[in-house]
Amino acid sequence: HNPRRVLYGRLPGFGLSVDGRRMARQAADYVHGLERPVSALVVSPLQRTRESAAPFVELFGIEPFIDDRV
C-alpha cells in the first residue's frame, strides 16, 4: 500500500508489507520447485532486500552474502 508513491527502498525502518512477504515466499517456492541447486544468495544491504531473501535462506539453507555493490 503506497498511495503517495514514496520510494521506501532506501528509507530505514520500512520493511516489506504483508503482500511483499507473500510475494517473496512465492518466488522462493517457485525457485525451490525447480529442484536445481542454489549455491549462493547475494543481496544488497537494504532492509527490504534482506527481507525478500529470508524465504530463500529458509528453503535452501544458505546464508546470504550482503554486497554493498548490489
Q: What are phi and psi of 43, to 5 degrees?
A: -130, 160
What are the tens digits of pLDDT across the range 10-20? Answer: 777 888 989 99
pLDDT value, residue 65: 96
Burial of 54 (0-12, 13-18, 19+ CB in 10 A): middle
Q: From CA 2, how far away is CA 67, in angstroms rounded?
A: 27
pLDDT digits (tens, 9 = 90+) for 21-67: 999 999 999 999 999 999 999 999 989 999 999 999 999 999 999 99
Domain ranges of the chain: 8-66
pTM greater than 0.85 (yes/no): no
Are 48 and 9 contacting, i.e. CB atoms less than 8 angstroms apart?
yes
At residue 1, the pLDDT reads 66
